[in-house]
Each structure stands twice: as C-alpha cells, then as structure tokens.
Amino acid sequence: MKPILTLSLVLTAGLAAVAVLGAPEGPGKTAAAVPAPLALPESPLGESERIAHALNRLAFGPRPGDVETIAEEGLDRWIARQLQPETIDDRATAGRLSGMATLGHSPLELYTLYPPPPLVQGTARQLKRRLGWSDAKIAGYFPETADLLGRKEEDLGETMRRRAEEAEAKREAMSARERMRETMRGPRRLPVELAQAKLTRAVYGERQLEEVMTDFWFNHFNVFAGKSTARFWIADYEQNAIRPNALGKFRDLLHATAGHPAMLIYLDNWLSTDPDADIDPRDAMLLWARQLDRHDLPPGGLTTLIARERGVDTSAYEQKVGRQLERLERAARMTGGRWPQRGRPRETREIRQRQGLNENYARELLELHTLGVDGGYTQQDIVEVARCFSGWTLTPTWAGQQFVYGEVFHVPGKKKVLGKTIRDGGMNEGRQVLDMLAAHPATARFISWKLARRFVTDDPPAELVEAMAATFRASDGDIRSVLRTMLESEEFWSRDAYRAKVKTPFDFVAGALRASGAELEGLSESGRVRPGGLAALRELGQMPYMAQPPTGYEDEAELWISTGALLQRLKIALGIATGRLPGIDPQPVRGEVSEIAERVLGVPASANTLDVISRQLEAPPEQHAELGLPGRLPQNDRERAHLAMGWVLASAEFQRR
C-alpha cells in the first residue's frame, strides 16, 4: 500500500466504523428583545467540548476564537440567538454577497439578462413573423439564431440537438479557465454564482443555524438546477420559499414549496392534466394572457423584454400582440367561454406537452416530503393526490413561467386521500391535501426522525424522536419548538452523539474554510474567474443545487466515506491550508502543532493525532509530491505551520462532527 494512502487511512481512522455501525428577516435588522436562554441538561462533555459540539451541529464548525467567545456569552444564550436569527446582525455577509451579479434579480430579470437559447430563438422568430423583419436585420440583434430562422418548426428539434452537441464538444476542448468564462456569460452562470453564495453564507454568516436549516430543507424539498429551466428559479425558491420558513411552521414551508415554479418544473407537476380533458387552445391562451397583466408583463411577455434588452424598439410588436389579446378577450365575453368548434385553432406545443396525469410530485410529497416511505399510504392515494394537484401549472416560458391554477387542466369530481374525502374544490383540493399531511402523525414522526438524524446520530434514539414528534404535534408543526426539544434533551449532549456524525463534503469544505480563516475570492464578469471552494465540492460530489434525485444530498456517513473519497479530502485539506486550491487565500498561521490543532478543532487534539501529524511533517519529500505539494520538507516555520494545519483538517477528529 502506498505511504500516502496508508497515512490517509490513519488520519481518518474510525470514519469507516462510523459509516458501518451508524455510531456515534433581512440583513441588519435586529430585535431589541434578547431570546430566552435554553434549559440545557447536564452532560458528560466538558465546556469546550459542548461548545465545539454545538458549533459542529448547529453551525458549519468553529472559527478561531469562537469557543472562547461563546463561553463568555454562555452557550445557552448563543443557541437561543441562533434560534431567533432575526436578532443577529449579518450585514457583513450581505456585503460579501452584494457583488454577485445574479443574486439581486427576480426570475423574470434573470430570463431577460441570461436568456436560454430557445427563448432567444423564439423571440427572433416572433419579430420575423409579426413585424416582417428580414433575416439580415434579425442577425444584427440576434446573431446566434440567424441560421435557424428559415427552418421549419419540425426541423428545429434535430437542429437544436446538433447544435447542443457541437457546443458541448467545444466546451470539452476548452481549458478549465475558458470553460468557466463561457459559463459566466450565459444561463449556466446562475447555479454557479448561487453555489458560491451558499458557500459564502456558510463560511462567513453569523446566522449559522438558519443557514444549516436552509440547507437541510433544500435537500428535503430538493430541486435540481439542471432540470429544464429550474436554474432561473432556484435562487427565488431558496430565498422566498425555504429560508423564511426554515425555523417556522412546517405547514407554511410545505405550501411555499408545493406551488413554487422550481418544484413544479423539477417534479413535472406543471404538466399534470386531466387525461379526459378536451382543452381548447383559446382557453389556455386566455389563461396565460391574463397572467401577463397580473405580473406586470408587457404584451409578448419575455419575448418583449428580451427584445428590449437587445435594443429593439418593441412598440409596434407590443401593439400587434396587444390587439390579438384584446380580440381574444372580446370573443370570450361574447361566447361566455363556450367557444364555437368552427375555427378552433390547432393545438400548440404548450398544449400538447400537457398530456395526462403526472404522479411525480404526488409520490414525492407523500414519500419524501411528509409521511415517509412507511407512512401508510397506497398507490391509489398517490393517484388521488395527483388528481387533486392537477391544474397547478405554469404559464409557458414566454409568459414568464408564473404559477397559475388552470381549471381547464384539472380533474373534476371527488377524491379520497388516506380515507378522507376531498370534495370538488378546484385549487383548494391541493391545499386541503397539504394541510392534512402537515397535521398527520406520520409526518410528525418522519420530520422529527430526519431532524434527529441530521443533528444527533445517523441512527437517532427512538425516545428522542418520539419526544420531538410530540412537540411537533402539540405546536402545530413549529420547527423552532421541535429543535428546542432536541437541544434540551440529554441525547443531543451525550458522549455517544459527540463526533458521531461524519461531515458531508459541503460541511467539510465550509468547515475547513471557517477553521483556517481562509478568504474566498469572488467571481468576475471576465478575466480571472476563480469560484473558490466550488472545484473542491465538485470533486467531492456535492456541488450545491446539483443533486438529481428528489432525496437531495443525504447526510449519512456511509454515503460519503470510501478510501478514494478520504484521499481526495486529504488533498483538498492540504490545498486549502497551503493556498494551492484555486480561489482560496489562506491566512497566516503560526504556532506549534498542538496550538494549531486546538484552534482548528475548538478542543485539544488527541495525542495520537498530534503524533501522526508531527511524524508526517518529517515524511520523505516524495510523499509531499504525491499530494501536489512541493517535493521537499517545509523550509521555514510558516510553511510548517500551514502544512500542519492541512493535516489537522485531514484528521479523523476534523472529519467528524
């Protein structure tokens, strides 16, 4: 076995056992009232251990000086403030995020500034068809689409696939820096910058528990940024559906995620339609056109906004589209909504997409979001829930992909879910289902179990889960109260729970950056683009917002621990500490190995860890070269201190939380 691999296994000794056994308001707003401290139980852990334990579970790990600061304030008061994040001034973090170009924009603005190619092509075709623009004129405003404008509609699918393959081949031939520059110019920029913002909040944010809970709930109600146009909605989904409800009522969180465009896109509920419906395209067009007014969009919707952004005078285009919509409204009033069959327009692509009932959201709502896999529901319950949510849909992309309830897509009639009759009530049927599930005892148990698994151990004590579930039921699903029950329990502060969890890659990278005091470099529009830390997360398999399964990223040890993964963590730990990881600027480190280890861990390191690190600092130079370090021994105290910090970050004591 190679020396480096042997060392990585020594430093991370015990992690595999953990995996197998399952062991051990806006920034700047502050409230005058200080939250009441918690009644923390007696614990076998010492004071510094208790504080380090809290920082590793309720935050993304300790920063230098955190343990001493919290000891002075009182651990119970620090936790109470974390449970009330609105009382914590976090303007400094907001300042760090202010330079990220995409974060301050609404989804409609993101569509306009970073439009996906099909939307640009559709805009160009509309201008050609409605205003009679020549190909040459369109090429002046939309050069990337000029070669497609003369194609027939049926040919575009194959043409677009070919162009996508060519673009991907071109990207693969680029250097890493060129690929990043290309990414930052188009829609792919959105999840990259959002991921950098997430890491920034985790590393520098003062509202640590809110950030941990936002991450927890995002994985619970996962949405994959790579699905269709979900990337345009991810930031809004996290900021307006999840974050404000992360410590609030579970019912509010459930409702906020169910009707959000990101969830409707990801689990395809926007497509779910009564399979027996005979949908007149005029009904659908009228529904979508009325949403333009409701959301202050001009005639033509996003096609108009994109054309304006390119410098086009859209007044004539808006007049033509506006007159068409007025004629549609007049016809609807004259017929009372009963369209004559004669002259019925052919179905559009937007109508053809909605073909029949889609059960994806209904299944995940029952299995993953509320009751759990053993929650007592049947396949027929899934079908009935899907029928209740039919008609919860979106306007087409050109109309902004706004949530809208479409009666024309809804399955009429009574439904029966979990033995309860849901009477024909249109959109309210879905709301009734959400309320029923939020109050269900199985939901209380499942959510409590997931929270206990995240914060206590991979196999949480049944007594603790039941106590948390009782609080869930008694408080009408108040998440803050459930967490308080957990934090005031003996199980949370037990020796068995201490360092019983293994850090996920995101926890590890964020924790390493916090512990080392490293600075993340920002993103730039052009030139050098170095999204610090994201490359490490990608290599470790936990790039934020890119989990494809509806389960999101799990947090059990066995999913993240393998020999290869541990060796990769070792390299990244050393890269962070020594400044060899792009986009990360380590701060100066001084002191003996034991002092450095205590600053990183928050508590004194074990004698075994200190001994292994001390020996590794004198290891043969060729071992350093295998890890991407200079093939020589440390040349001075500064190099030795940084290398020592890297080995501490790679140790089993740091990998556990």
Per-residue pLDDT tens digits for 589-630: 899 999 999 999 999 999 999 999 998 888 777 776 677 776
Q: What is the pTM of this model?
A: 0.90
- Yes or no: say if 628 and 575 are a contact pair by the CB < 8 Å rule: yes
Q: For residues 557 and 18, give the distance between their C-alpha atoms in angstroms, rounded to a whole number.
A: 7
Long-range contacts, stretch 433-438, CB < 8 angstroms, 24+ apart = 433/365, 433/385, 433/388, 433/389, 434/251, 434/254, 434/255, 434/258, 435/251, 437/254, 437/365, 437/366, 437/369, 437/370, 437/371, 438/250, 438/251, 438/254, 438/370, 438/477
Q: For residues 113 and 103, give the distance between their C-alpha atoms in angstroms, rounded to a whole number.
A: 12
Residues 249-276: pLDDT tens digits?
999 999 999 999 999 999 999 999 999 9
What's the burial of 151, exposed, middle or buried (CB within 10 Å: 0-12/13-18/19+)? middle
The mean-pLDDT minimum among 79-93, 137-151, 175-189, 504-518 falls in: 175-189
Q: For residues 266 and 548, give the distance between their C-alpha atoms in angstroms, rounded to a whole number.
A: 9
Q: Which residue has the tokens 């701060």?
A: 587
Q: For residues 563 and 497, give the distance between their C-alpha atoms in angstroms, rounded to a whole number.
A: 24
Q: For residues 612 and 152, give the distance between their C-alpha atoms in angstroms, rounded to a whole number.
A: 69
Pair type for strands 420-422 and 584-585: unpaired
Residues 370-412: pLDDT tens digits?
999 999 999 999 999 999 999 999 999 999 999 999 999 999 9
Summarize the confidence of residues 53-80 as an average pLDDT: 97
Q: Pull the structure tokens for residue 24.
A: 């051990």
Identify the pLDDT of residue 166.
66
Identify the pLDDT of residue 29.
41
Residue 161's pLDDT band (cuts 50, 70, 90): low
> What 3-state DSSP class applies to 403?
strand
Between these two residues, 465 and 628, which has the higher pLDDT value?
465
* Residue 294: HSE in the Cβ half-sphere, 13 Å Cα cutoff: 13
Closest among 299, 337, 328 to 316, alpha carbons compared: 299
Q: For residues 169 and 192, give the distance between their C-alpha atoms in angstroms, rounded to a whole number.
A: 20
What's the burial of 426, exposed, middle or buried (CB within 10 Å: 0-12/13-18/19+)? middle
Compute CA distances 614 → 568, 607, 631, 643, whole Å.
21, 10, 18, 10
Q: Which residue has the tokens 């879910």?
A: 417
Identify the pLDDT of residue 4.
45
Q: Under 8 Å CB-to-CB from 148, ≥6 apart: which residues?
A: 121, 124, 156, 159, 160
Between these two residues, 355 and 509, which has the higher pLDDT value?
509
Residues 101-122: pLDDT tens digits?
888 899 999 999 999 988 998 9
Beta bridge partners of 502: 656
Q: For residues 12 and 31, give the distance between their C-alpha atoms in angstroms, rounded to a whole number.
A: 43
In eight-state DSSP terms, residue 364 is H
Residues 415-458: pLDDT tens digits?
999 999 998 899 999 999 999 999 999 999 999 999 999 999 99
Residue 278's pLDDT band (cuts 50, 70, 90): confident
Q: For residues 413 and 277, give the distance between their C-alpha atoms in angstroms, rounded to a whole number.
A: 13
Flag whether pLDDT at 26 surpasses 50.
Answer: no
Q: In whole numbers, what is the pLDDT of the chain averaged over residues? A: 88
High-pLDDT (> 90) share of the chain, %: 67
Between these two residues, 238 and 15, which has the higher pLDDT value?
238
- For the beta carbon of residue 594, count every other beta carbon within 10 angstroms: 16
Identify the pLDDT of residue 175.
58
Identify the pLDDT of residue 153.
53
Residues 181-233: pLDDT tens digits?
555 566 788 999 999 999 999 999 999 999 999 999 999 999 999 999 999 99
- Yes or no: say if 388 and 272 are a contact pair by the CB < 8 Å rule: no
Identify the pLDDT of residue 344.
85
Compute CA distances 132 → 122, 125, 129, whole Å.
14, 10, 6
Q: Pull the structure tokens for residue 198.
A: 């997430």
Residue 9's pLDDT band (cuts 50, 70, 90): very low
At position 405, the amino acid (one-letter code) is Y
Residue 25's pLDDT band (cuts 50, 70, 90): very low
The mean-pLDDT minimum among 239-248, 352-361, 633-642 falls in: 633-642
Residue 33's pLDDT band (cuts 50, 70, 90): low
Maximum alpha-carbon separation in the chain: 89
